[in-house]
Structure 1
């Protein structure tokens, strides 16, 4: 009998980026890259595990913006075109490197991989949400929700209606897409503030995740630290992140992804190839970009890009298997030690961004595959579980109040509230006030009903924590600023048009087509609680 549990949790999220008004927007490729490098490879891993009789268990959030984009016909069509260009380029690379043996070998490898991706993509009729849902239905994958647009809840807590809208709209959207209400939620950025659990309970949610210190600083301090969930006074359970297992995977300096054998992320054919040759595959304005075809390995953690040696997926896969075995061994030792100390089965919760596996760490899906296989066959000290199964088996836990926390820099809120992004919050707060005011209205006709619902969409989209995060990281800042401003400006115009009873129907129709997330939203979700 197993001494304890290990729960792998992946957070699959991308901000809502969809631009039907433009033929090309670079940021749409965030989704296309994630499909190619993370979501389809994960599905292929799950399919292989099921095929081979391995009853794997994993928890995975799929946020409403991601689900909406994955099911959007326009983005599906554009991904088809994106993948076709990759396929075309790899065939061109095979011919171009006829006398360059290793590069040709890698080009042929990529051609085979892209072919497999297309086969998986088309086998599900381009609907990856249905693809993941089959593993939810078989109880291998526990899919949980998130905030409606990944809004940073502690920074909107002065407007409870805004927090409630993030939670309620997300739960309704989940049920529309998965045919059942969600059991759990990934709080955006694992950011918790005291009192949000009451809204989670009212929405029917059973559990959420926080960083380890969210439990360790709880009142009273949990007896088993972060190695057992706690129940809040509302009955909603809280799981805390385990830092030991997290660092082994997260850290590119001391963790697995920085191994010299693994693929180098920052050396890409889009920047390396001769300009005229690669021009048809980069941005329409001629600016270079990452293509996704990379021929080099990390080689040395402190080496420059010019010093990178050629990559070999065979040896990288061998290293992924080695690292999976090491991760398993460390969890065995950890669980055995904790079980002896606790006198009860511990649970080690290991949450990560899903895009780490495949996009940032190319070999990540192989690592997951080997981890489940090795854990299934090669050890008996822990059992892989997902969070819903664990709560079914262990319905009694200590009651305490978690501490305000996040999994961001320094563990609290400053990454989303600092000198780079503080300017957005007075505008977001004013917008929330206006939406709460609008929620009290009864629409005079269908046009006003549509305008009120669109105002709710615009506020939700403006509240995405991704924009503040990008402003802080310093990458793609103009886009994040533009998105924040555009949603706020649209909401303000809708507010003024509704109040003056002069709604611009043509403009409204245009905005509805651009920001078409949550087609069944009801603006009354913002009414005072």
Structure 2
């Protein structure tokens, strides 16, 4: 593989909170099934095709334990299969209603639904883990793990933080027979000293946002006095695709994520313009989108090459660019995203860029000296305000109290030497309440009521189980069994 210009690492972060049995539309299971159909299936398909071509160390793929649990869950597998069938029926209905260019789009939707169903019924019928394991075993991807339910780690008590991380890494090892050496720290959240937790749990590398390294992301760096390594996201390159204000997916020719034909449940419009009302948006034109995509592929490759040449002039050696995105961007949020992703991964090596994983970047020598990292995240302001700001102060206070009660439950005398299903479920509910998603959704005013309800619901379930375990063990067992039907991502979780 050529590395004349330098090294490029693409990191994808795959995550959704626990959604099964917790609402459907507009927030809930529908969110999971849309991302599954439009992002996870096509991204895995392109990885499999690269694997068939003999490509190795292609990209670094983070999959959070709570998402993996849903993609393996028997209930979710059945429900997603039904969702795929409804997608085909919606496309058929659109074909009977839409005219002109939209009639062609309905036919494209129908074929996509059939292809997704066939892919799911053949390769995914036993869940995600067998599919992912083949990619990991063949070194097509480097796998990143993470804490069990994607909590914002800087706001966790050290014991809770360690337990959440240990539980998440153990879950990945059980599913894939592979314990990740690296993690995607949820929200890239970091507090000074967290590298000690990582080292204790066997984590050797993690991601931070570029400003945490004051923009010096041209090499990985050891953190403090530890041997744990951090990689910084290069925002100059990353933001060409997706930024708070601009990026490729907002181009007028691309399919509009927010505009629905609610009669058929499909998206018929192109972006058209930032300030154009949904009713006034132009019909989606796949040919125009495809032509725009080719230009954006060329632009991104040029951006990476230019950045690497600049780094080489500044540092006197080949540099490293790390671009990191949510996997759900590709297909779910940005309809054309998977096609762009495949084209970029093919074009960069042709432009003289080494494309590899974080592991591969270290093997290529992209490691600098130690660094002291500040408290940081990849959220607004690059600090903790999204998860610890005024809008969510009540949630932070509630989570702090929940952690105190969780630790009190853990420290309470307990006569049983075997596992206690009541305590196991109580701990599960506490971890689900501590998911970073709830505060993010409130701060960003994205289904904030749903997020507050979910956080409160799991906290109340924990408190109910904790109280019953001390006063009415028989009723506590029955309550825990009922809650396991709704929220049971980690069968191995042991409260002891």
TM-score bin (small chain): over 0.9
Task: Return the TM-score normalized by structure 1.
Answer: 0.88
Partner of 1:122: 121
In structure 1, the partner of 2:154 is: 154
Q: Contact 2:56 / 2:140 at 8 angstroms: preserved in 1?
A: yes
Deviations 1:462-508 (A, max 9, x none): 10011111111223222212211121112112222233463522112
1:376-395 to structure 2, matched below 5 A, reads 376=349, 378-380=350-352, 382-394=353-365
| Displacement of 1:61 | 0.7
Answering whether residue 456 of structure 2 is matched by residue 485 of structure 1, we say: yes
Sort the Cα spacing of 1:265 and 1:25 in 2 relative to 1 into closer, same or farther, 3 A: closer
2:40 aligned residue: 39
Q: Secondary structure at the match of 2:368?
A: coil
Farther-moved stretch of structure 1 (4-13 vs 493-502): 493-502
Structure 2 match to 1:368: 341
Greater Cα offset, 31-40 or 421-430: 421-430
Distance between the aligned counterparts of 1:42 and 1:467, measured in 2?
A: 26
Contact between 2:419 and 2:494, CA under 8 Å: does it hold in 1?
A: no
The counterpart of 2:399, out of the listed 428, 436, 461, is 428
| Contact 2:426–2:462 (CA under 8 A) maintained in structure 1 | yes
Residue from 249, 261, 265 that aligns with 1:269: 261
SS at match of 2:420: helix
Instruction: Mark the CA change 1:448 to 1:130 in structure 2 (over 3 Å): closer, same or farther.
Output: closer
Q: Which residue of 2 aligns with 1:240?
A: 232
TM-score w.r.t. length of structure 2 = 0.94
Please give the alpha-carbon distance, in whole angstroms, between the structure 2 residues aligned to 1:398 and 1:466.
Answer: 34
Mark the CA change 1:326 to 1:76 in structure 2 (over 3 Å): closer, same or farther.
same
Counterpart among 170, 173, 176 of residue 174 in structure 2 = 176
Equivalent residue for 2:12, pick from 10, 13, 29: 10
CA contact 2:217–2:232 (8 Å) conserved in 1: yes
Is 1:341 the counterpart of 2:314? The answer is yes
Judging changes above 3 Å, is the alpha-carbon distance between structure 1 residues 428 and 301 closer, same or farther for their aligned structure 2 residues? closer
After TM superposition, give the deviation of residue 117 of structure 1 in Å.
0.9
Matches of 1:123 and 1:96 in 2, distance apart? 32
Q: Structure 1 pair 24/340, CA: closer, same or farther in 2 (3 Å)?
A: closer
**Which position in structure 2 is the counterpart of 1:455?**
426
Q: How many residues align?
A: 491
Is the aligned partner of 1:511 residue 2:483? yes
Aligned partners of 1:23 and 1:360: how far apart in 2? Answer: 18
CA contact (8 A) 1:184 1:205 kept: yes
One of 179, 183, 187 as aligned partner of 2:185? 187
Shift of 1:306: 2.6
Residues 1:92 and 2:93 aligned together: yes
Are 1:49 and 2:50 matched, yes or no? yes
Alpha-carbon distance between aligned partners in 1 of 2:463 and 2:419, rounded to the nearest angstrom: 15
Unaligned residue ranges in structure 2 (runs of 5+): none
Distance 1:42 1:516 in 2: 27
CA pair 117-446 structure 1, distance change in 2 beyond 3 A: farther
**Paired position in structure 2 for 1:71:** 72
